[in-house]
A and B are shown apart, each in its own frame.
Chain A
Amino acid sequence: MGFLHEFLQQMVNGLSLGSIYALLALGYTMVYGIVKLINFAHGDILMLGAFGGFFVLAAYGVTPLTFVLALLVGMIVCAVVGIVIEKTCYKPLRNAPRINALITAIGVSIFIENGARVVKVIGPNPKEFPTFKTVNFPIGDVNISQIQIIVFVVSIALMFLLTYIVNHTKLGKAMRAVSFDRPAAYLMGINVDWIISFTFALGSALAAAAGILFASAYPQVEPYMGIIPGLKAFVAAVLGGIGSIPGAMLGGFIMGIAETLTKGFISSQLADAIAFGILILILVVKPSGILGKNVSEKV
């Protein structure tokens, strides 16, 4: 009974954490799908989004309305930041060797982290994130907090929204076309530059939402908070099959559950190492990921 109870509790925690990873992994996978770049700065967009939410909630207090406002502000700000980064740093390097674009991405990531640290309003010290007072709903032996429910519901809603945009709108069709074959999409009259910017904006907005949800669940914000979730979300994207949107969602949930189960049953210090272990394992066993396709190389 004790084991089952602990297991169910950790599954609930894992689903909540996993939905955050899934949101973040979606950004990695969309950007990778369309420009074949690991956007190292993605985790730092999460941090910026969390701070965006922090300022709104700190100024207006925590009510359901301000929480929605915080989400909107964070998402819009980060979407703009995402577009700016893409236009200034990644676009000029689109035809350069991949290692150059990767190094630029590292540069952008550290610039955002250290920039946030230097800026007076953010600063190096962790700040407490204003969040709802925790209310637990016991179902049998398992405790579910209302924050976990909010995190889960908001994430699922955003994932549905994204799936709708990608699969049922003209923009989404253009995105899929560009990621499938960029030159051909260009020849068909699709504004490739605009679509790539839109993809970055979409991914960054999701990262911002993930940041605010993450900060609500673990109420602390600081400039380096994005590194580890970013790393784990990338592993989630690889696990699901990088470039695949349903894969990123699945990978995110698996990562979240794996992490909380490790915390519950093995050791909380190993929780970070487990992500790394999963990455190595997936690269050895099935590098294309669970839902990814094996693409043969063309010369």
Chain B
Amino acid sequence: MKKNIANGLTLAAIAVVFTGILAALVYIGVIDEYTAQILTLAGINVIVALSLNLISGFTGQLALGHAGFMAVGAYTTAVCIMKFNFPMLLAILTSGLVTAVFGLIIGFPTLRLRGDYLAIVTLGFGEIIRVIMINLEQITGGAAGLKGIPSFTEDILLAPALSMLWVFSVMIITIILMSNLIKSSYGRAVLSVREDEIAANSMGINVFYYKMYAFTISAFIAGVGGGLYAPFFGYLNPTMFNFLKSVDFLVIVVLGGMGSITGTVIAGFVLTYLQEFLRFLRDYRLVIYPLLLIFIMLFRPSGLMGNREISILALWQRLFKSDRTQSKVDKAGERQ
């Protein structure tokens, strides 16, 4: 048990150093602002895609409204900062909590049932929340959008580096929390729900409770992702969070592999970069994503990683430790 904690801490330390270096490179200008922006956006995409992976990949319940959750998070943060002068961290946490409440409300009627109702209800939620945002003009600025959301810092020179630092830190925390969650008994219960609801139920697992648990956490993380989006972008408009945005996250999860944290992280960065890179294709880009979805499902439903993970520590130990500990390390390092 203690070894696990030590491993987690080393990993966190490596990640923090890595992020620090990256942010420093942005600050001194080795990485230009445009690239920094893409990387930051990729970080936000990874956070939201991870949350979608938790409910769709690990729990096996398709959700199609994560852009809606993101919208709730983004607007909550913006309103908290602009109207109530919340400090940034508190505003982002509040947005996560508010979104989690929305998750509870949507999950309660739908997750009791077997079948694909969550998909259609979250899809509907994503559409309705936009209509609501447009109509709540006093709070959200309506269809014209919400302008002038303060960034992470007022210093323009510091802004790209600091945005990146914020987003990457939250991303790392999310990754660590999620991988610990999956390895915990709660995580095992969630996985068993995905594999076979009836069998899980007969093993004494409260299927509804664990689905709700995963969905609420998923909503929380998506809300935090949205909360980061507001100060990063500085401008919000309800049409930013349409159905196609939800599908972008689905593509990331499916490409990376449903049930793989590593896969989502890799696919998140690759696809976000690709989206910029493929700008020369203009509208034809719009056809590539859905085709990708269909082809992955037809020919390689496990995506890039399936449900495997890359664990730096396991790799490290395999390379440098003696054979004696090999089998132990394998067990600790690889999920399943």
Q: How far is the CB of B65 from chain A (nearest CB, A)?
A: 11
Provide the main secondary structure of the chain B interface. Answer: helix
> In the complex where A38-B119, A297-B198 touch, is A273 in contact with B291 (Cβ < 8 A)?
no
For B301, the closest partner residue in chain A by CB is A100
Which of these, B123, B287, B293, contacts A118 with CB under 8 Å?
A: B287
Q: Which of A97, A101, A103, A114 contacts B287 (CB 8 A)?
A: A114
Min distance, Cβ A113 to any Cβ of chain B, angstroms: 8
Which residue of A98, A101, A103, A297 contacts B254 across the interface (Cβ within 8 Å)? A103
Are the CB atoms of B116 and A284 closer together than 8 Å? no
Best-buried of A124, A227, A280, A284 by chain B (most CB within 10 Å): A280
**In the complex where A108-B294, A110-B290 touch, is A99 in contact with B124 (Cβ < 8 A)?**
no
A11 CB within 8 Å of chain B: no
A236 to chain B, nearest CB (A): 12
Query: Number of residues in B with C-beta < 8 Å to the partner?
Result: 42
- Chain B positions 257-308 with a Cβ under 8 Å from a chain A Cβ: 258, 283-284, 286-287, 289-294, 297-298, 301
A6 within 8 A of partner (CB): no
- Among the 9-residue stretches A70-78, A88-96, A131-139, A254-262, the one with 4 or more Cβ atoms under 8 Å from chain B is A88-96
Q: A283-B109, A283-B110, A297-B198 are in contact. Are A272 and B131 (CB under 8 A)?
A: yes
CB of B56 closer than 8 Å to a CB of A = yes
CB-CB contacts below 8 Å: A206-249 with B: 227-228, 231, 234-235, 238
Among A99, A103, A299, residue most surrounded by chain B Cβ atoms (within 10 Å): A103
- Among B124, B243, B283, B294, which residue has its beta carbon within 8 angstroms of that of A107? B294
Q: Kindly state whether residue B149 has any CB partner on chain A within 8 Å.
A: no
User: Which of B243, B258, B289 has most A Cβ within 10 Å?
Assistant: B243
B residues engaging A (CB < 8 A)?
Answer: 56, 60-62, 64, 109-110, 113-114, 116-117, 119-121, 123-125, 127-128, 131-132, 135, 198, 243-244, 247, 250, 254, 258, 283-284, 286-287, 289-294, 297-298, 301
Residues of A within 8 A of B (CB): 38, 89, 92-93, 96-104, 106-111, 114-115, 117-118, 124, 227-228, 231, 234-235, 238, 269, 272-273, 275-276, 279-280, 283-284, 287, 297, 299
